[in-house]
Amino acid sequence: MRFIEIKDCYKVYKNGVAAIAGLNLNINKGEFVFVIGASGSGKSTLIKMLYREEKPTKGIVEIGGINVGKLRNRTVYKLRRKLGIVFQDFKLLPKLTVYENVAFALECLGMKGSEIRPKVIKALDHVGLKDKLRSFPNELSGGEQQRVCIARAIVNNPKLLICDEPTGNLDPKTSKGIMEVLDTINKELGTTIIMATHDKEIVNRMKKRVIVLDSGVLSEDHEKGRYKASESI
């Protein structure tokens, strides 16, 4: 079942740089997709268009039937409530505990305290941090901080999880743990995951769909793909 549809999509920035130049792409519900490509290939722009941080200059970006490009600024929040976003730099609030950081996402949506608690505990259980509820981000390792970020992203049961180089700041062993968490979420919750990455190891080991971008266009699309040995991305 098609979940994301990108048709004849272009994104030209004000300075004239064409980050996406005629991209066509379909992603089905429940898929786990890696987006790879060299710096400047348009990975980040694609990711930003998916959560409507950037608008396409031309073409259609549709998620679950919503034309993201047509959304007005004041209604973007409706889209984001259906998404979870994980960043390379975690974006945790240092003065809040692990529990508070995850609960923050639900509090912002005006959810009741009694509804928030079980959801937060469940999300932290998914990422294996149930015993770190009261820790502050600076008391956690990089991998643990990223797990908190993932828990925050999935706490509202999003249909789509967008990950922008989530293992970029982590060592290989920790990265492997994070990928296991993401894989579990994908399999157990059926969440569609799109992950931009540079990490060869991960892409080769996970054997998921791989989309390669080159100068803003789709250059390769492989089911159970992998980094080619010759590629130096």
Partner 1 sequence: MKAFRIIGRSIRDSFKSVFRNFSLSIASILCTTITLVLVAIAIIVTVNVNHITKDMEEELTIVVYADKDTTDERLKEIERDIKKLSTVASVDAKSKEEWRLEMQSYSETLNTTLDYLEENPLLDSFIVTVKNVDDLRPTALEIRDFANIESANYGEGMVEDIISVFDIIKTVTVIMVIALIVVTAFLISNTIKLTIFSRRSEIEIMRLVGSSNTSIKLPFVFEGFLLGILGSIVPIIVMIYGYLIMYEEITSSSSFSIIDLVSPMPFVLYTSLILLLIGSVVGMFGSARAVRKYLKI
- Contacts to partner 1 by CB under 8 A: 51, 73-74, 77-83, 85, 91, 93, 104-105, 107-112, 152, 156
Cα angle: 204, vertex 205, 208; to 5 degrees: 75
Nearer to partner 1 (CB atom), residue 61 or residue 149: 149
Given the complex with partner 1, which of 115 and 231 has the nearer CB atom?
115
CB of 104 to partner 1, least distance (A): 7
Give the distance between the most distant pair of CA atoms in the chain. 54
Q: Give min distance, CB of 107 to partner 1, in A.
A: 6
Report how far residue 134's alpha carbon sits from residue 90's, in angstroms, rounded to the nearest whole number: 18
Question: Of the two residues 158 and 225, which places its CB atom closer to partner 1 in the complex?
Answer: 158
- E strands present in 54-112: 58-63, 66-67, 83-87
Q: Rounded to whole angstroms, how far apart are CA atoms 91 and 146? A: 9
Residue 16 or 110: the one with the smaller Cβ distance to partner 1 is 110
Min dist CB 101 to partner 1, Å, is 9
- Shortest approach of partner 1 to residue 98 CB, angstroms? 14
Ordered alpha helix ranges (H), the chain: 43-50, 76-80, 98-107, 113-126, 142-154, 172-184, 200-206
Q: Which is nearer to partner 1, 16 or 113 (CB)?
A: 113
**Residue 173 C-beta: closest distance to partner 1, Å:** 28
Q: How far is the CB of 179 from partner 1 (least distance, A)?
A: 22
What are the tokens at 206? 């996970």
What would the DSSP string read from start to end of 125-174?
HHTT-GGGTT--GGGS-HHHHHHHHHHHHHTT--SEEEEESTTTTS-HHH
* Choice between 79 and 133, CB closer to partner 1: 79
129-150 as b/e: b if 16+ CB within 10 A: beebeebbbeebeebbbbbbbb
